[in-house]
Chain A
């Protein structure tokens, strides 16, 4: 028995090495494998931040996330939805939490307020893309592909970032999407693992204990070995060249190998027993658990450079609510999750940048259903040790009738690519950050410090 166990150990290590391209010949240390330290030569370990991107789907209402309480037009356009001015005693629960005398956080985002003061959290207001369709799908596709209009490169901006910074080999968990389907932002990346729960990321034993007294894990291991050999064969189907093809962009066998390598890495992490630091309390929701797992992966040092998450529930056409209600609920979940993540990561936040973005903001005036329709600019959040704190960034476009963009939307005053490019260049240390955004020359904003 002992011999067999040892042999399997060696085999597993060797196959993982093969799957990830690690060989002694290209200068990597086999002993590193024992600690699951994959990706030792990639961007993150060279001093760049890990990048965590959260996409708020549906068009988050920037004017309710970070309210311009210093702008009288805000109160004219939103008689029922506007947050009260800070310290308005008539409606204490509905008061914006002041940031800079002009903007204030939604009260449900209170957990982020101290982080703003500590310089770990900041806001860029008036952010958006050039997309004029006000369609969720067009605007998301534009943004996730890093474009100003829909036409252009078909790959995602994060995928291009990963390609431009690829090292000698691709760590299996280099890019992780905490979702059921791979997002457009990562479309075209060679290594993306989509998962909703780390502990589920394993092969389940094919038999119970009935057969010949064998432990179930023996059969799982055997099955895994066989899968490794099946997915190691030459690609059966070559990726397509036709335009508009819906087929796979890369060989299936490669995807299988990445999946098997990731299973092995997660097995070694033991996520089931992960304890957040500093008593951090993540909400028991999809988003809260998503960030909890991102933290586990980051601390496990598995070579994850990019984590992508998304959150639904921002398409507030109806009964959006003010300090309570539908919108306040999702904001509460967002604020608690982000503050738990910062607490859990502790000093590690110096090496992490979190970007929270959305496809567009919402119309400046509220609609008859006490909600808001699709608009243009929204705001964007940045968290991490590298943010330039103490102020709300961006140029305020104003809400006066002649300042709004037809049919009544806050103008985009900061192109979202300026923000992303600066984060990639200064924090993630991608020297080719500008190439991530084709046919665009990003403008420096000074919203993050060089790492």
Chain B
């Protein structure tokens, strides 16, 4: 029966006609990791790693701060993590996250590295094109989800999501999905907290970006403005900084001849013995506009015959421009604080410019001081990715980040790597109000153990809280999932609702385990869990 139900679920999803990831077919189910608990136990034996455990929350003011900070700079708290951060202090936790030097959980590395795609990206990126489109898309998202759920470097992972959207690439635009994982691993991930200049340079040279924003068609004589426009508008200066159409046209001229190596170049590579991977970056001097250029907004004059260095000069100016610093600071404030406090923006802007485009320096005032502001405490509506990952984390779920999770995200409107426009998934809560039903269904399916690559068990939660009676178990569910004291006044309507649901379920003949699982699903589906 369970197997049958799974098949139905998948075929229903496949029947949806043109939604991009519905091209993931039945065969993919088998790609995911199986028997994760066995693997986990094995890795734990080898590494001595232990699972975090649940425990009642310390009743101190610092506890609420720890919960708040874990909701904002992390994808929510893991079991026991609020207590741990309360103990070490919020400030120390944030410094640890900014330093980004913890030893990673070996289980995360193991799970990510065993994906076929990751092996190819590391050893022979040109071979990624041999993997099926479905596998490419699914495993790229799988790696992101595994890291988001399990990594100890949670600021790094929320920032990975931030940069992935900042330099958004739609995986399905040019049917060059194999370029996305290479972009993720070589453009985004090495630069998440380091130098924005390096990140921008890597992005400008990224084959996936060159393809997505049509720069391979940007040629001497007839420039294609697409990349130049989004570079100024979305990647660096921001649309309100004051540049004009003239600046876009001149920047586009600087990028003429920046393209990706295509099959037409392959023969030449072979003859010349060039080892550069297929579809890597190529500066094509024949297509470059060698005339003099002037970009008024950047006050940048370029002499004739600048070659590849024309665009390098533009990127250097853009990375170190005050408008870029301010644009990034504002965007990061919206992400982590939910609004834009001017004083924090100014401090972050100055720190970025003073520290040679350091992303870490840019983040420090936002994370360390911005999060302390009273207005920042107003909760933000979780985006679907926040909702799903925080649910998996708080329940200590065993997940492969595979097809079930990815379909749930798609149903909520956030299929990873599939936002078509270059501006990335919306940050605004209002964009996601239509996702409630899909959230409720995810909560139900997560707690109903339908099989697949994701498993949740409530036993450790009840054991961690020492919960024996039904009431104690309900209180453990509330406190364990929401990381708020079960007796706090704001949770009382929910507590009453869960209690009533479980009592009714039991009187209708539903088993205690099932009733409690439904109770847990209700906590995930309830208003309090939708906020971060």
Contacts and interface: CB of A to CB of B under 8 A. Distances in A.
Interface string A175-200: 00100111000011000111111001
Is chain A's binding surface mostly helix, strand, loop or mixed?
Answer: loop
B508 A206 contact: no
Given A214-B509, A230-B493, A204 B445 contact: yes
A207 B437 contact: no
A153 interface: no
Interface in B250-299: none
Contacts of A188: 430
Contacts of A245: 338-339, 378
B525 interface: yes
A134 B340 CA distance: 26
B373 to A, nearest CB: 11
Contact of B5 (A187, A208, A249): A208
A236 B490 contact: yes
A446 to B, nearest CB: 35
B411 interface: yes
Contact of B447 (A133, A187, A206): A206
Contacts of B433: 182, 192, 194, 248, 250, 255
Interface residues of B, number: 80
Contacts of B435: 194
Interface stretch (B217-225, B360-368, B453-461): B217-225
Contact of A194 (B340, B434, B509): B434
For B378, B437, B450, the residue with the greatest tally of chain A CB atoms inside 10 Å of its CB is B437
Given A317-B214, A368-B221, A240 B445 contact: no
A15 to B, nearest CB: 14
A18 interface: no
Contacts of A163: none
B309 interface: no
Nearest to B431: A181
A244 interface: yes
A207 B514 CA distance: 9
A88 interface: no
B340 A255 contact: no
Contact of B497 (A210, A230, A289, A369): A230
Contact of B431 (A182, A200, A259, A371): A182
Interface string A268-312: 000000000000000011101100000000000000000000001
A24 interface: no
Nearest to B16: A197
Size bin of chain A's contact surface? 35 or more
A226 interface: yes
B59 to A, nearest CB: 21
Interface string A218-257: 1100110011011101101100101111111110110110
Contacts of A219: 505, 510, 518
B222 A368 contact: yes
Interface string B370-402: 000001001111000000000000000000000
Interface stretch (B143-151, B189-197, B421-429): B421-429
A256 to B, nearest CB: 6
Contact of B19 (A196, A209, A246): A196
Contacts of B510: 211-212, 214, 219
A200 B8 CA distance: 13
B19 A286 contact: yes
Contacts of B508: 214, 218, 222
B411 A200 contact: yes
B18 interface: yes
Given A182-B430, A286-B19, A246 B339 contact: yes
17 contacts: A182-B431, A196-B16, A200-B411, A203-B437, A204-B445, A206-B444, A206-B517, A208-B450, A209-B1, A211-B510, A226-B498, A230-B494, A236-B528, A256-B527, A263-B437, A286-B17, A318-B224
Interface of B: 1-2, 5, 16-19, 214, 217, 219, 221-222, 224-226, 229, 233, 239, 245, 249, 334, 338-340, 375, 378-381, 410-414, 420-421, 423, 426-437, 440-441, 444-445, 447-448, 450, 490, 493-494, 497-498, 500-501, 504-505, 508-511, 514, 517-518, 521-522, 525-528, 530-531
Interface of A: 57, 133-138, 177, 180-182, 187-188, 192-197, 200-204, 206-212, 214, 218-219, 222-223, 226-227, 229-231, 233-234, 236-237, 240, 242-250, 252-253, 255-256, 259, 263, 284-286, 288-289, 312, 317-318, 367-369, 371, 373-374, 407
